[in-house]
Amino acid sequence: MEIQIISFGKISEFIAHQKIEISDIRNTDELKAYLETSFPLLSNMKYKLSLNKDIVQENTAISNQDTVGIMPPFSGG
């Protein structure tokens, strides 16, 4: 299946928005492991994922055409 990756803040400097084709990834935990292998800088950082319009709090199933956001710690205000 295909998912859309979007990235923010510091992370947007080394992960561009992109569509990725994933075959054996079914949930956000598996996606995290995949991302940290593909983008080693990510494994040393604090970050959260969003899935469509929700922040991921626990491991969640991913479906075709989902949008996953990769978000470093917030610094608004």
Partner 1 sequence: MERKVKNIFIDGRIEPAFIAESISKHSVKTTIGGHSIFMGQVRKDEIEGKLVAAIEYTAYQELALEKMHQIREDIFQKYPLHCMHVYHSLGTIKAGEICLFVFTSSTRRKPAIDACAEIVERLKAELPIWGKEIFEDDTHQWKENS
Total of residues contacting partner 1 (CB under 8 A): 16
The yes or no reply on residue 72 touching partner 1 (CB under 8 A) is yes
Phi/psi for 6 (5° steps) reads -125, 150
Phi/psi for 9 (5° steps) reads 55, -140
Neighbouring CB atoms inside 10 A of 37's CB total 10
Minimum Å gap between C-beta 19 and partner 1 is 18
Minimum Å gap between C-beta 37 and partner 1 is 23
The yes or no reply on residue 73 touching partner 1 (CB under 8 A) is yes
CA neighbor of 28 nearest in space, from 65, 69, 77: 69
Minimum Å gap between C-beta 33 and partner 1 is 23
